[in-house]
Amino acid sequence: MSSETGSPPTQSVIPYPRVIAAAGLLVVGFLVYSIVFFRENDPLWRERAAVRELSSIRQALDAYVRDCGEPPPAGRWEAALTTDPGAKGWRGPYLHIRGPVFDPWRRPFVYRRFGVTYTLVCAGPDGILGTADDLK
């Protein structure tokens, strides 16, 4: 209709595009922060994460035992899964993590070797071994 009257066509202009973009980024940032914050503070999420990590570490330990014939030494078990400790049959790395392995509560997993067997435990939310919330 504006072309019939001789006036120029109107353009759709978004008001304050930078303000709208900044507000959108703030909303997205807040959502991401909320998801991460609440997830990490959710007890059920932490427990599930600990069970997954225990399973992954056990798979690595079992592969080490299968290759070397015995579990790694108690004091150096994490290093033995990532770098060759000189054990006969070692075919690792079995884990691709350097340094200590921590549970979702930021405490180390507890590894103990008993001859040709081992145990791997997460002390759970209370951080105390031997209580009902331990994860094995």
Read off the tokens for 30: 């807040």
The domain limits of the chain are 43-121
Residue 45: what pLDDT? Answer: 86
- CATH T-level topology, domain 43-121: Glycoprotein, Type 4 Pilin (3.30.700)
CA distances from 98 to 19, 49, 117, 119 (A): 44, 19, 24, 21
Range from 17-31, 69-83, 88-102 carrying the lowest mean pLDDT: 17-31
Determine if the peptide bond prior to 93 is cis (ω within 30°).
Answer: yes
- Mean pLDDT of all residues in the chain? 83
Read off the pLDDT of residues 71-87 as tens digits, 9 standing for 90 and up.
Answer: 999 988 999 999 999 99
Read off the tokens for 92: 């690792």
